[in-house]
Amino acid sequence: MALRVTVWNENVHDREDPRTQAVYPNGLHGAIVEALQKHLGDRATIGVATLEQPEHGLTEEVLAATDVLTWWGHVAHEQVDDAVAERVQRRVLSGMGLIVLHSGHLSKPLRRLLGTSCALRWREADDREVVWTVSPGHPITAGVPQAVVIPRQEMYGEYFDIPQPDELVFISSFSGGEVFRSGCVFKRGQGRIFYFSPGHETYPVYYDPHVGRIIANAVEWVGAGARAAFDTTTCPNSPTGWFEKL
Ligand code: ZN
């Protein structure tokens, strides 16, 4: 069965900023969906949800039918309903994979799941970013060169206020000399979370084939965790002899 992916975008720059519309005429979500379709083909069925929809498009029913949620947000984090953020958090704890992209580092679901401010340093000045693989053999790095060069990108730098990642997959360096933990895995409950920083609303980063490959690999890897999850919402009493009856 194909992985059920929901691509979430706050869809504000996309509707209001001509600079974003020039780079992403189909929205950031459109470019992300295209990259996933290219790399995953019929291994994924992909839906889109956006902030302006009722319940931001993330109803209980949608999330229950989602193996992997990708999240892009920037200027409207505070407009996300706390109840929806809590719902996403709960689904991750019960196994749904979550991929948080770029400025989603300050999103409510990620901050709830990590428990820190997730603040970082940044600069918008056409830096060159090099994304270095530091976990060769990790499924998220499959088919990705050891150094991916992104010619123009927003700089994201340390200190990045996150808990120590469970796995550090990529580190980026920038032409200004900064470094950044740009690909981080966290495990919360049964859910796998991948934070990936490249991607900004005025740079064409989501069209980069290596970036697309990384996000697609991440969808498959966090989605495998969702497939392996089981129901932990009930903790029944275990009478004597229950094990023998299994
Ligand atoms: Zn940005």
pLDDT in the model for residue 57:
98
H or E stretch at 200: none
Question: How high is the mean pLDDT of the chain?
Answer: 96
CA of 146 to the centre of ligand 1 (A): 24
Contacts of 78 (CB under 8 A, 6+ apart): none
CA of 118 to the centre of ligand 1 (A): 14
CA of 201 to the centre of ligand 1 (A): 6
CA of 156 to the centre of ligand 1 (A): 8
Distance, CA of 186 to CA of 93 (rounded, Å): 11
Assigned fold of 3-115+181-228 = Rossmann fold (3.40.50)
Residue 246 has pLDDT above 80, yes or no: no
pLDDT in the model for residue 193:
98
Residue 73 has pLDDT above 80, yes or no: yes
pTM listed for this prediction: 0.96
pLDDT in the model for residue 243:
78
Residue type, 121: R
When pLDDT is averaged across residues 223-230 and rounded to a whole number, the result is 93
Distance, CA of 212 to CA of 218 (rounded, Å): 10
When pLDDT is averaged across residues 148-160 and rounded to a whole number, the result is 98
When pLDDT is averaged across residues 195-223 and rounded to a whole number, the result is 98
H or E stretch at 73: none
CA of 154 to the centre of ligand 1 (A): 6
Residue 227 has pLDDT above 90, yes or no: yes
CA of 199 to the centre of ligand 1 (A): 7
CA of 196 to the centre of ligand 1 (A): 12
pLDDT in the model for residue 201:
97
Residue 238 has pLDDT above 80, yes or no: no
pLDDT in the model for residue 189:
96
When pLDDT is averaged across residues 47-69 and rounded to a whole number, the result is 98
Query: Residue with structure tokens 């859910």?
Result: 191
Which residue, 98, 128, 95, 124, is CA-closest to 111?
98
Q: Which residues of 70-108 are buried (b: 16+ CB within 10 A; e: fewer)?
A: bbbbbeebeebeeebbebbbbbbbbbbbbbbbbbbbbbb
Task: Give me the residue spans of the domains in the chain.
Answer: 3-115+181-228
| 163 SS3 class | coil
pLDDT in the model for residue 242:
74
pLDDT in the model for residue 3:
98
